[in-house]
């Protein structure tokens, strides 16, 4: 479980920082940049998983990383639509 958290949490943090940066800096076209944050999360997930070189639990770690990033981006999108 420790390996899972070490490889999942950084992706969530980057996704959260990305959506906060989009909300602050791209006020008028903020919804255009949210998919780019999610794409960066996908690339970061793949880079982290390749760097680990562990086969066991790869799919579970990738699902957790990308699922969390997707939820963060979806919640941010909902908030930005309302604001």
- Residues 48-78 pLDDT 10s: 998 988 888 889 999 999 999 999 999 999 9
% residues pLDDT > 70 (the chain): 96
What pLDDT shows up at residue 66? Answer: 95
Using CA atoms, how far apart are residues 43 and 49, in angstroms rounded to an integer?
A: 10
The candidate with the shortest Cα–Cα distance to 17, out of 66, 82, 81, 69, is 69
What's the confidence (pLDDT) of residue 80?
87
In a domain, 1, yes or no: no
The residue range of the domain holding 31 is 7-82
Q: Is residue 47 part of a domain?
A: yes
- Domain assignment present for 2: no
| Helices first, then strands: H and E counts in the chain | 3, 0
pLDDT band at 30 (very low <50, low <70, confident <90, very high): confident
């Amino acid at each position: 479980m420790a390996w899972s958290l070490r490889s999942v949490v950084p992706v969530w943090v980057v996704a959260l920082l990305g959506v906060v940066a989009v909300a602050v800096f791209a006020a008028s076209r903020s919804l255009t940049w949210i998919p780019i944050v999610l794409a960066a999360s996908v690339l970061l997930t793949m880079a982290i998983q390749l760097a680990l070189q562990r086969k066991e639990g790869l799919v579970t770690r990738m699902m957790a990383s990308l699922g969390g990033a997707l939820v963060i981006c979806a919640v941010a999108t909902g908030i930005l639509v309302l604001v």
